[in-house]
Amino acid sequence: MGVLSIGVFSSLIGSMNLDFALKLADAALQKGHKVNLWLSGNATSLVKKDQKHLKDYSTGEKPLKALLEKGVEVCTCEACTLARGIQKTDAIEGVQWNAMHWYLAKIHESDRVLHIGGE
Amino acid sequence: MADTKLAFVVQRPPYKSENPKLAITHAIAYQTVEILLEEGETVTPTLCFIGDGVLACIKDQKAMDTYGITSTETHLKNALLVDLDVFVCKEDLERFGITEDKIVNADDMGADKRIQVVPYETIQAEMEAAKHVLFF
């Protein structure tokens, strides 16, 4: 089994990239791979808790919590997150907060990297 | 001893999105990644600008005056100061009519490295030599 690291920079609303990344992470997990998920730039909006699920908009809270429970390591860029007004107290529990070197370290140990840049 | 070579490829223009700046700051993070790795393990990034991304390399940016934010130029200077290899595509610079004297350098800050203007084939070789390529 391999190690897959996914870096996402797209926003939760206005793009389907984050939805795709969450589904891909789950699919890789089900095949027995270890998955790491790095959130940077606008993707850090994913970590905000108490997202209201309106049917016209993507919501990432439920699938993200499910991934965390299954052992996916999820880390948000602390500077990017705080710059968007999201504090640690506002965030989904279990998400790690760190700097960009976290992503590089996970890339180092990965067999495959899927890097999804922002729009 | 294990080194992971990465290629950060910037293809989007600066200020339209956050991508070029995030590419540079992620690449610079190689300076501190060792605290999370085993002894002897390293990450070596190269930073490559192609397509519209070459616009990020023009000097005398006024981001602080215009937007009140740190310029991509400042980040590039920091990248040179920490000895990152930075390449910019010669053909794409020519396409925009940008001459080499218009490219950012960090000579004033005492950097040993300079941005290297190279043919695309050199950047292609960097991507092929990397274990992972990250497009911004």
d(CA A90, CA B89): 43
Look at residue A26 and tell me if it is in a domain.
Answer: yes
Which residues in A lie closer than 8 A to residue B136 (C-beta atoms)?
Answer: 9, 117-118
**Chain mean pLDDT for chain A:** 96
Supply the range of the domain harboring residue A106.
Answer: 3-110
Look at residue A73 and tell me if it is in a domain.
Answer: yes
Chain A: nearest CA to B95, how far in angstroms? 24
Look at residue A86 and tell me if it is in a domain.
Answer: yes
Of B6, B12, B22, the CB nearest to A41: B22
The residues pairing with B127 across neighbouring beta strands, listed in sequence order, are none
Look at residue B83 in the predicted model and tell me its pLDDT: 97
Look at residue A34 and tell me if it is in a domain.
Answer: yes
Look at residue A97 and tell me if it is in a domain.
Answer: yes
- pLDDT (tens digit per residue) in A4-22: 999 999 999 989 999 999 9
Count of CB pairs separated by less than 8 Å, A with B: 64
Look at residue B1 in the predicted model and tell me its pLDDT: 63
Burial class (CB in 10 A: 0-12, 13-18, 19+), B38: exposed
d(CA B45, CA B6): 5
Look up residue B4 and give its two tokens.
Answer: 């992971």
Look at residue A118 and tell me if it is in a domain.
Answer: no
Count of domains observed in chain A: 1
Which residues in B lie closer than 8 A to residue A96 (C-beta atoms)?
Answer: none
Chain A: nearest CA to B124, how far in angstroms? 18
| Domain B3-135, second-level architecture | 3-Layer(aba) Sandwich (3.40)
Residues near B56 by beta carbon (within 8 Å), at least 6 away in sequence:
B10, B13, B14, B20, B49, B72, B76
Look at residue A119 and tell me if it is in a domain.
Answer: no
Q: Which chain A residue has its CA at the smallest distance from B29's CA?
A: A101
Of B4, B36, B136, the CB nearest to A117: B136
Provide the residue-wise pLDDT of chain B in tens; the chain has 136 residues.
699 999 999 999 999 999 999 999 999 999 999 999 999 999 999 999 999 999 999 999 999 999 999 999 999 999 999 999 999 999 999 999 999 999 999 999 999 999 999 999 999 999 999 999 999 9
Which residues in A lie closer than 8 A to residue B134 (C-beta atoms)?
Answer: 7, 113, 115, 117
Check whether A119 has a pLDDT greater than 80.
no
Of A42, A100, A115, the CB nearest to B135: A115
Interface touch A115/B35, C-beta < 8 Å: no
- pLDDT (tens digit per residue) in A98-118: 999 999 999 999 999 999 988
Of B6, B28, B35, the CB nearest to A107: B6
pTM: 0.93
3-class state of residue B134 by DSSP: strand
- pLDDT (tens digit per residue) in A42-78: 999 999 999 998 988 888 999 999 999 999 999 999 9
ipTM: 0.89
The CATH code of the domain that includes A90 is 3.40.1260.10
